[in-house]
Amino acid sequence: MATPDSSFTLAGRPAPGDIPIAEEWDSGLSSSDPLAFPGYDPPAAGGESVRTGSATVGGYPVAVVHCRFDVQGGTMGAVAGERIVRAFARATDLRIPVVEYVASGGARLQEGMIALIQMARTASAVADHSRAGLMSAAVLRAPTTGGGPSRAATGSRQPRNHGADEHGSRPRSPAQCLRRFINT
């Protein structure tokens, strides 16, 4: 169990308004290099682009997903995706809301299809959480590109930090993919 942490960062600096994590989840998961991609140095477990855990807001428990653009440009590989999926699954099981800070650079291309499939996996986890009647808020930060805005747009609320810059596919892309795979 990790100790309380108020050091969430965006580009290495504390970000105002971040919710400190009381207990970090899945911190032992670490990335690999499934394609033996030349020059790729996968981040260590503690240096992954996504951190997740539990916190308290106004005395109520919440799950927190924090995407870090300062690590690999915020890209989502297998571990980042797995952490997000597990966080939403835990929140669904615990019947608590999720607060997600999104600063993403899209899929981690050095992990190939393993990274690309994370978009569908995470969007499905967000949808399961929503179907359970639970709230989620995805705070979009600068920069947020690739699939980050799409996943965030499937949540209940999508506040944006002042000056947040988002580019990428919109909610219809994951929604169309999810309908195709879930309804078949």
- pLDDT one-digit tens code per residue, 109-168: 889 889 889 988 998 999 999 999 999 988 877 666 655 444 554 554 444 444 444 444
Whether the CB-CB separation of 111 and 129 falls below 8 Å is answered with no
How many domains are there within the chain? 1
> Can you give the pLDDT at residue 45?
80
| CATH code, domain carrying 167 | 3.90.226.10
The answer, yes or no, to whether residue 48 has pLDDT greater than 70, is yes
For tokens 């690739």, name the residue: 146
Mean model confidence pLDDT for the chain: 76
Give domain status of residue 4, yes or no. Answer: no
Domain assignment present for 100: yes
Q: Is 29 helix (H, G, I), strand (E, B) or coil?
A: coil
Whether 180 shows a pLDDT value over 90: the answer reads: no
Judge if pTM exceeds 0.95. no
Identify whether 2 is part of a domain.
no
| DSSP structural state of residue 22 | S
Residue 58 lies in a domain: yes
Residue 90 pLDDT exceeds 50: yes
Query: Which of 31-40, 46-55, 101-110 is predicted with the least confidence, judged by mean pLDDT?
Result: 101-110
Cα(157)–Cα(43) distance, integer angstroms: 30
E strands within the chain? Answer: 9-10, 13-14, 23-25, 50-57, 60-67, 98-102, 136-140
- Model confidence at 15, pLDDT cuts 50, 70, 90, reads low
Please give the pLDDT value at position 19.
81
57 in any annotated domain: yes
Range of the domain at 137: 9-182
169 inside domain: yes
What separation, in Å, do the N-terminal and C-terminal C-alpha atoms of the chain show? 40
Domain-located, residue 97: yes
Q: How far apart are CA 41 and CA 43, in angstroms?
A: 6
User: Is residue 70 in some structural domain?
Assistant: yes
